[in-house]
Amino acid sequence: MKAAIYLRVSTKDQSVNSQRADTERVAKARGYETVIFEDHTSGAKFSRQALDKMMAGVRRREFEAVICFKLDRLGRSLPHLAQLIGELDSCGVGLIVCGQGIDTTDSNPAARLQMHVLMAVAEFERSMISDRTLAGLEAARGRGVKLGRPKGSKGIPDQRRTLAMKILTESPKLSCSKLARAAGVSVGTAHKWKKEHMQIVELT
């Protein structure tokens, strides 16, 4: 049996040694052969080199389980966590969070309940963000603020703008160049969407 161990600290100056010791002890007790993935970056980032590489292995069904010390090592955003957990589940890969007593590898009802509660909370958070965004748009229109697609952007799919707004909600300080790459649009379009997002936030 093979398991992926995911370790993360926020900066290069921090050590993952304590996480490594705890996760490796659990893996050894379960008889797992392990592959370690280690990131030194913020958990607020959706895309992380080691995490992305691990999830690619998950999709290829290379692991029976993913082991981490705490859920916030995987991500600090509830929607992102729900996305990752849902993908693990759809690929038949269990999740062991050794520092929080979560283990979905043996169909433990309590662990499954924890996962579903987490996903439900994430869905509620997304719904609240959507409601606030719509309220902000209405308030902005009421004040005569011109919002919507930039002039000449008729061919840009709606889902790209929606994706950009979601990214900005999670990472409002993201640079326009990074937002443009993530949403697949020009830097100019990303700049206009970021400005629009700021107007919505100010009105909510």
Domains and CATH numbers, the chain: 2-106 (3.40.50.1390), 129-203 (1.10.472)
What confidence score (pLDDT) does residue 111 get? 67
Q: Which pLDDT score, from 0 to 100, does residue 2 have?
A: 96
The one-character DSSP state at 150 is: P
Query: Average pLDDT of the chain?
Result: 79
Element (H, E) at 28: helix 17-30
| Of 50-54, 62-66, 132-136, the least confident | 132-136
Are the C-beta atoms of 88 and 41 separated by less than 8 Å? no
**Tokens 């007790």 label which residue?**
29
- Residue 89 pLDDT exceeds 90: no
DSSP category for residue 16: -
- Which residues are tagged catalytic? 10
More confident residue, 64 or 190: 64
- Higher-pLDDT residue of 163 and 144 is 163
88-95: long-range pairs with CB below 8 Å, 24+? 88/58, 89/115, 91/58, 91/59, 91/61, 92/61, 93/58, 93/61, 93/63, 93/64, 93/65, 93/66, 94/64, 94/65, 94/66, 95/65, 95/66, 95/68
State the greatest distance between any 2 C-alpha atoms of the chain, in Å, as a whole number.
64
Q: Which residue's structure tokens are 């992380």?
A: 48
The per-residue pLDDT for 11 is 82
Q: Virtual CA dihedral for 115, 117, 119, 123, nearest 10 degrees?
A: 180
pLDDT confidence of residue 138: 62
Closest CA to 181 of 202, 167, 195, 197: 167
Q: Work out the pLDDT band at 139, boundaries 50, 70, 90.
A: low
In angstroms, the CA 76 to CA 96 distance is: 17
Among 105, 142, 109, 111, CA closest to 29: 105
Ranked by mean pLDDT, the top range of 14-23, 69-78, 163-172, 180-189 is: 14-23
Please say if the pLDDT value at position 86 is more than 90: no
Tell me how far the alpha carbon of residue 143 is from its chain's centroid: 34
User: For the chain, how big is the Rg over CA atoms in Å?
Assistant: 20
Q: 108: pLDDT confidence band, cut at 50, 70 and 90?
A: low
Lowest mean pLDDT among 14-23, 43-52, 103-112, 120-129: 120-129
Q: Can you give the pLDDT at residue 124?
A: 58
Q: What are phi and psi of 140, to 5 degrees?
A: -65, -45
Could you tell me which residue, 157 or 194, shows the higher pLDDT?
194
